[in-house]
Amino acid sequence: FVSCSVDQTSKIWDIRVPQHSVQTFRGHTGDINSVEFMPSDPNCFATCGQDQTVRLFDMRAYNEVARYGSGKAVETETDGLTSCAFSKSGRLVFCGTSDGNLLAFDVLSEKSTPAFSVASAHEKQVSCVGVSPHGEALCTGSWDSFVKIWA
């Protein structure tokens, strides 16, 4: 499994060797808030964090293979991307933000900025993002006490 941390690293763990991680990935310049395996390629995973970036890592390359940014400068320690989830195909990475927005990044695009966004999706921080098993809907939860379904 993969974990993320406030030490700006994500780590791959093998349950047969629980004493230490087997790979450590660096690159973020702030706390990492969320990690998600790509459904179409179990060797790849995305992380998002306080540095306003989403990073795509590949375990085979043992490296970052893509980086996407919100396009917003980090102004305070509480700014950042709070959660991430892949679309069923793995083409899009959805991210919630600390200011209540929802962003979507296209991993096949040459652009590093969001492919689209939902401004003010929530009134407060988006705390979780999830995609339905069939890939037909997106769900967001927020500190504003609402869960929203985007279909």
Rounded distance, CA 110 to CA 97, Å?
A: 22
> Does the global pTM surpass 0.85?
yes
What are the per-10-residue average pLDDT scores of the chain (151 residues)? 96 92 96 96 96 96 94 73 97 97 95 95 97 96 98 90
pLDDT score, position 79: 83
pLDDT score, position 70: 81
In 3D space, the residue among 116, 111, 115, 94 whose CA is nearest the CA of residue 39 turns out to be: 94
pLDDT score, position 75: 66
- Residues 6+ positions from 100 with CB-CB distance below 8 Å: 120, 121, 122, 123, 124, 125, 126, 142, 144
Rounded distance, CA 114 to CA 135, Å?
A: 19
Rounded distance, CA 135 to CA 143, Å?
A: 24
pLDDT score, position 84: 98
Q: Give yes or no for a contact between 3 and 32, defined as CB atoms under 8 angstroms apart.
A: no
